[in-house]
Structure 1
């Protein structure tokens, strides 16, 4: 999809908007670039229009457009106004969870529904923050260049290194169960991953008061996610009265692949359309 730059009151924001039908706003997770597709682009073929907004520090979106989830939620409203979109169903993935929550809490009249896909509802812990700053601070370009080089030389080793932080299963066991299509999914995800200045901003994000969410919420999480612990799902379910948790039988953070990928897709469509 063609990317567009919009000059908001706080700086430039990159977005793409395609399709015809009810609007879905996609907020991608950490390390995801404009080219990273975790299958959501296919929503266009289901009769929806898909608005994908790059969060601050990712792609060409200025960091000044929102250093906090709440601040960027205000910028998102500017873009919705610009595109004359009244209401959207929001899909927040992984590290984009706090932004999706901020949008639902502060602008419930613009949010039809909120879907949290392996998405954070809690702040990052100190150890993770320290590691993230070391890897994805000033040296993030070198890190991803190294990953892409390793993908060419030894795809299996590259996947093993990344997936060891995303699954609670023994990583060799996990990789051996993947289908060729699943492997291609991970390969493409890693090939298009970039952190820019976005991820080091993500790790300092705070989360709005979940109890103030009034819109319908679907949370899709797996017990085997090593990156976003299942406690995020439990907190969401116990705090938000309008929340439904769908426990995905996935073996990793990547709930969009594996034997139960079709169920995830169908559950999302069911929730959007009901």
Structure 2
């Protein structure tokens, strides 16, 4: 999970997009990552890989090597996704997976292209409610502006190398409603190492500020079966977003994770949730 994976770019009619296509011979799952991520970083993909699915991950607008001009909005990037699938010869997708700020793009892709997408999985996903709160928006705009983004992540890497536990407590404090010390104590040694590596490799580019824009285009209605997974302990995307998604999507199931933070993949019940995901995709 911590390593940087090889990516490619495609120059499509709708713009350049960075992607990683890990082919395994099975049906394809398309993943839209959350904030500060890109197609070269993997998080929570094991459940799909171990079930034999091919995984297609796109860097959303402003992240990695995808310019901000490619797509920009969730609906706009859903068109880019459709074009990339055509470019790669993918005619059917077992599921689109929306993680955190990637949730709206997964919803838009499913709504706009029901002939392409069979199912939807939303993990700690931003829903139809306002997000984030004003304080977080202001702080993020300051920390991740074009002038400060590189400095911010350089400081994060320095802290992680010099005092990793302190760095984890600092960053996890914004991702959980529980005390950061409690969140950290619940992590295994392997999970701590994975998170340290992940935080050291994250970048925001121009993508995260784009995620923070108040402008929300119409995402449309999702008719596909949808699995919504979230934790009440999430300090980044409140559980109310999951409840709103489950209410507004007709054929949806809401699973409550017991994870201590936004990172449901490190919760003690992730194995059980993974089994539910596999069953959901198989039926």
Same fold (TM over 0.5): yes
Residue 115 of structure 2 is aligned to residue 109 of structure 1? yes
Residue 73 of structure 2 is aligned to residue 65 of structure 1? no
Q: Of Structure 1 and Structure 2, which has the larger fraction of its residues in helix?
A: 1
Residue 155 of structure 2 is aligned to residue 146 of structure 1? yes
Provide the C-alpha distance between the structure 1 equivalents of 2:57 and 2:277, rounded to a whole number of angstroms. Answer: 17
Alignment check: 8 A CA contact 1:123 1:206 kept: no
Provide the C-alpha distance between the structure 2 equivalents of 1:257 and 1:208, rounded to a whole number of angstroms. Answer: 33
Deviation (angstroms), 1:209: 5.0
Unaligned runs of 5+ residues in structure 2 are none
Deviation (angstroms), 1:185: 2.2
Task: Give the total of aligned pairs.
Answer: 273
Residue 46 of structure 2 is aligned to residue 37 of structure 1? no
Alignment check: 8 A CA contact 2:32 2:102 kept: yes
Residue 141 of structure 2 is aligned to residue 120 of structure 1? no
SS at match of 1:224: coil
Shift of the 111–137 alpha-carbon distance from structure 1 to 2, 3 Å rule, reads: same
TM-score, normalization: structure 1? 0.95
Show the counterpart of 2:96.
90
Show the counterpart of 1:187.
196
Provide the C-alpha distance between the structure 2 equivalents of 1:111 and 1:22, rounded to a whole number of angstroms. Answer: 11
Q: Deviations over 1:88-135 (max 9, x none)?
A: 110110000111111111112111111000000033233332221111
Unaligned runs of 5+ residues in structure 1 are none
* RMSD over aligned Cα atoms: 1.5
SS at match of 1:21: coil
Runs of 4+ in 1 over 3 A off after TM superposition: 207-210
Deviation (angstroms), 1:75: 0.7
Provide the C-alpha distance between the structure 2 equivalents of 1:269 and 1:102, rounded to a whole number of angstroms. Answer: 23
Provide the C-alpha distance between the structure 1 equivalents of 2:39 and 2:80, rounded to a whole number of angstroms. Answer: 18
